[in-house]
Chain A
Amino acid sequence: MTKLEAMIQPSKLDAVKSALLEIGIDGLTVLEARGHGRQKGHTEFYRGREYTVDLLPKIKLEIVLRDEVVEQAVGAVIKAAQTGKIGDGKIFLTRVDEAIRIRNEERGSNAL
């Protein structure tokens, strides 16, 4: 099992959700985050003083997937979230040791 973490632009959330739903992935967690990579922030003014706001709003998606569908899911996220500009975001894949469904205590891929 693999965990897919994606940092994307907030405006792309709807597109990514739809794309994942289309390939049959219907469980995900969405977090509101702030951050930046190489993207510069923006300047705001307060009483004539310039402030750089470099922690920008981001959306973080977390999905745990069966290994067979990981590449499909990655492709779907990239297709929906990509604009070609700096600030598109990143995807990280990590191994998951175990998954358990709380309702009936099922384990493994069946719990996903």
Chain B
Amino acid sequence: MSIQKLKSTICACKMREWSLLFCVLFAGCAVFAQTAPATQSIVTPERIAELEQKIADAHGAADNAWMLVCAALVLMMTGPGLALFYGGLVRKKNVLATMMQSFAMMAVITVLWGLIGYSLCFGSGNSFIGGLHHMFLHGVGAQPDPDYAATIPLQTYMIYQLMFAIITPALITGAFAERMKFSAMALLMILWSIIVYAPMAHMVWGKGGLLNASLGGLFPTLDFAGGTVVHITSGVSALVCALYLGKRVGYPQQAMPPHSVVLSVIGACMLWVGWFGFNAGSALAAGSLATSAFVATHFAAAAATVSWSVTEWMAMGRPSALGAISGAVAGLVAITPAAGFVGPMPALLIGLLAGVVCYTMVTKVKAVFGYDDSLDAFGVHGVGGTLGALLTGVFASKFVNPIFKDAQGNVLGSGWIDGNFHQLFNQLIGVAIAWLMAAVGTILILKFVDLVIGLRVPAEDEVEGLDLTQHGEEGYYWEASGNNL
């Protein structure tokens, strides 16, 4: 009983302490409120300017975050996306050599880009090539360049574009897989980046470029993410390489099936996901155009997978995994120039066509002409890119992307479905220039490299395998992974 009384007394005391504390605090707050500076609530021009800057910064932060992620996604497309895709398609004895070709591009092209690559592509120069103002990335810092991307640092733009410059030569390696010297390939790609890629990138995307649709080029070619710059140039160059180098020893009599379609499937999936960075990132901002490009990209990939698989099913009796992933890549290639200009339904159609056309290229046309484009770089990228670039002229819609405006700022039609039939001619010109640059540039470079260091490995080395002869390694060294050794 006495304990109860004690408890209630303590309770009552505590109550009193707490209420006292509350009163003190409340009074203190009231005092503080009365003495707060009154100027905080007044609206001034400086305050508005400050707020506007903060809003712009927030906007820019969103765009920059998105673009940095996209840059990472595109790099992932090369490594390990393309490395796995190509690596799985070659014979076991060449797996490392093939992967190394992609990986080497990540390193070599980056250095070249920093020294002069970026400047040649995106510096101000003339209609055909950029200048050397940005050599050693001079002037490429946190400040945006409104001609390219107004809300992100120029450095972000630079690093994003670098990833494109990396994957483009890596794509070509598919044509001469299993027979090219590593040293020759490295030299070839350095020269190719300067002589073919830089002018093409400058013409389509650079300031003053002949084909630049956003910056008033003479023949504005609609190429959102690189159908001409990346896929046509690499694909056509691949064909030239395949023809110049000749067939692999034993081709086509000897069966040379992929040693691991498993790796290729994994690689293809990474390419699909990475491609969102490639296409949607080409919006250069995190807004609704990026969404539109993302959606178009995905739909085209899906439609092309279906159409390639169905075509194969009808022709061969069964749909293969290799066919399905090849279809997806074909669709992704074809939608690349169109991604930010077309709606989802045209994207489906573009994908559908790409699947059928590219399937026919790699199974029928290649066999008819007999060239050994080992990993179908031309059949998928060259042809898919050409198809996509032309279809962009058909399906580009001002309602998706009002890219063409007249002097008064009124929106003009983009493609044929807008009534702008003329755009098809511009697309054709862009495609033709890409083909020409790739073909002529590559032949000259191949000739030069062949004279200086020789392109192909000796026949015995080719038979033994490039992993051992070019790199002194084995891709899968089973004895070393044994249990008790």
Query: How far is it, in angstroms, between the C-alpha of A48 and the C-alpha of B326 when the chains are bound?
Result: 13
CB nearest neighbor in A for B257: A46
Chain B residues near A44 (CB-CB < 8 A): 255, 257
Q: Is the CB of B316 within 8 A of A47?
A: no
A49 at the interface (CB under 8 A from B): yes
CB nearest neighbor in A for B316: A45
B258 at the interface (CB under 8 A from A): yes
Query: How far is it, in angstroms, between the C-alpha of A47 and the C-alpha of B258 when the chains are bound?
Result: 11
Give the Cβ gap from A41 to chain B, nearest Cβ, in Å: 11
Chain A residues near B6 (CB-CB < 8 A): none
**In the complex, chain A residues 18-37 whose Cβ is within 8 Å of any chain B Cβ:** none
Number of interface residues of A (CB under 8 A): 8
Q: Is the CB of A49 within 8 A of B320?
A: no
CB nearest neighbor in A for B360: A48
B322 at the interface (CB under 8 A from A): yes
Contact pick for B376, options A45, A47, A53, CB 8 Å: A47
Q: Is the CB of A49 within 8 A of B322?
A: no
Q: Is the CB of B252 within 8 A of A49?
A: yes
Q: Is the CB of A47 within 8 A of B255?
A: no
Chain A residues near B320 (CB-CB < 8 A): 45
Q: Is the CB of B316 within 8 A of A48?
A: yes
Query: How far is it, in angstroms, between the C-alpha of A77 and the C-alpha of B376 when the chains are bound?
Result: 48
B183 at the interface (CB under 8 A from A): no
Chain B residues near A49 (CB-CB < 8 A): 252, 363, 367
Q: Is the CB of B315 within 8 A of A46?
A: no
Chain A residues near B376 (CB-CB < 8 A): 47
Give the Cβ gap from A30 to chain B, nearest Cβ, in Å: 16
Chain A residues near B315 (CB-CB < 8 A): 48
* Interface-central residue, B316, B318, B364, by most chain A CB under 10 Å: B316
Number of interface residues of B (CB under 8 A): 16
Q: Is the CB of A46 within 8 A of B362?
A: no
**In the complex, chain A residues 32-61 whose Cβ is within 8 Å of any chain B Cβ:** 44-49, 51, 53
**In the complex, chain B residues 307-366 whose Cβ is within 8 Å of any chain A Cβ:** 315-316, 318, 320, 322, 362-364, 366
Query: How far is it, in angstroms, between the C-alpha of A44 and the C-alpha of B318 when the chains are bound?
Result: 11
Q: Is the CB of B252 within 8 A of A46?
A: no
Query: How far is it, in angstroms, between the C-alpha of A47 and the C-alpha of B375 when the chains are bound?
Result: 10
Give the Cβ gap from A55 to chain B, nearest Cβ, in Å: 11
Q: Is the CB of A46 within 8 A of B367?
A: no
Give the Cβ gap from B483 to chain A, nearest Cβ, in Å: 16
Q: Is the CB of B255 within 8 A of A48?
A: no
**In the complex, chain B residues 282-325 whose Cβ is within 8 Å of any chain A Cβ:** 315-316, 318, 320, 322
Chain A residues near B252 (CB-CB < 8 A): 49
CB nearest neighbor in B for A51: B255
Query: How far is it, in angstroms, between the C-alpha of A29 and the C-alpha of B96 when the chains are bound?
Result: 34
Chain A residues near B318 (CB-CB < 8 A): 45
Contact pick for B362, options A48, A51, A53, CB 8 Å: A48
Query: How far is it, in angstroms, between the C-alpha of A44 and the C-alpha of B320 when the chains are bound?
Result: 10
Given contacts A45-B320, A48-B315, A48-B316, 19 further A-B contacts (CB under 8 A): A44-B255, A44-B257, A45-B316, A45-B318, A46-B256, A46-B257, A46-B258, A46-B322, A47-B362, A47-B363, A48-B362, A48-B363, A48-B364, A48-B367, A49-B252, A49-B363, A49-B367, A51-B255, A53-B255
Contacts A/B (CB < 8 Å), 26 sampled: A44-B255, A44-B257, A45-B316, A45-B318, A45-B320, A46-B255, A46-B256, A46-B257, A46-B258, A46-B322, A47-B362, A47-B363, A47-B366, A47-B376, A48-B315, A48-B316, A48-B362, A48-B363, A48-B364, A48-B367, A49-B252, A49-B363, A49-B367, A51-B255, A51-B257, A53-B255
